[in-house]
Every structure is written in C-alpha cells, then in structure tokens.
C-alpha cells in the first residue's frame, strides 16, 4: 500500500488532525482511529503518544517530519497525523499489515 497516496486521499475526502498537540487531543477524545508518526520524531514525543494510544494503532511513517509535511501539503515539518475519518482512502488497512 502506498501510504503517501492513501494519506492524501484521506486528507481530501476524510478528516485528519495534523500536529502533535491536535493528535493528542484526538486520542484523548477517543476520535483517532490511526496515528501516523514521522520516523524522526523526538523520543520524548513518541513515548507520550505511545502512552496515550491504548487501543489506537500507531504507524511509523518511513520518512522524516519534513517528508510527512510534504505529503500533507504543508510547507513545514509535521511530526504526527491523526486519522479521524479515512474518507474514501483505505489507510486504516495499514494497521492490519
């Protein structure tokens, strides 16, 4: 599965929260269905996300936060993305494999 392509589809047809703080809020409000984390996220941030994600799967994006930001269409770094509603994408299937 092409995670970049599926993430772009989810962003245009579904609902996603971009950024560390908004991802944590989505987890706390039990809205997040999947958390995507950049591979170079600081360990402190990563452990905070992992501690909160009891039943929410975490996917490590195979690129840097700059690359994740680029996939999200942002001109800056993005450390985490919370998938609230996948829309027409099949991005939630990555947690199965």
Q: What is the DSSP string of 15-84?
A: EEEESHHHHHHHHHTT--SEEEEETT--HHHHHHHHHH-SSS-EEEESS-HHHHHHHTT-SS---EEEEE
- Bridge partners, residue 36, by sequence: 59, 81
For domain 3-88, which architecture applies? 2-Layer Sandwich (3.30)
Reported as a single tens digit per residue, the pLDDT across 36-75 is 999 999 999 999 999 998 889 999 999 999 999 999 999 9
Domain regions of the chain by residue span: 3-88
Q: Please give the Cα distance from 10 to 43 (Å, whole number).
A: 27
Is 0.85 surpassed by the pTM of this model? Answer: yes
Band of residue 1 on the pLDDT scale cut at 50, 70, 90: confident
């Amino acid at each position: 599965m092409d995670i970049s392509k599926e993430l772009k589809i989810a962003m245009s047809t579904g609902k996603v929260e971009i950024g560390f703080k908004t991802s944590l809020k989505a987890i706390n409000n039990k809205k997040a269905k999947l958390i995507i984390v950049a591979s170079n996220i600081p360990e402190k941030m990563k452990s905070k996300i992992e501690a909160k994600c009891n039943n929410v799967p975490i996917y490590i994006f195979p690129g840097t936060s700059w690359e994740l930001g680029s996939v999200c269409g942002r001109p800056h770094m993005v450390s985490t993305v919370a998938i609230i509603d996948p829309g027409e994408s099949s991005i939630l299937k990555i947690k199965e494999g």
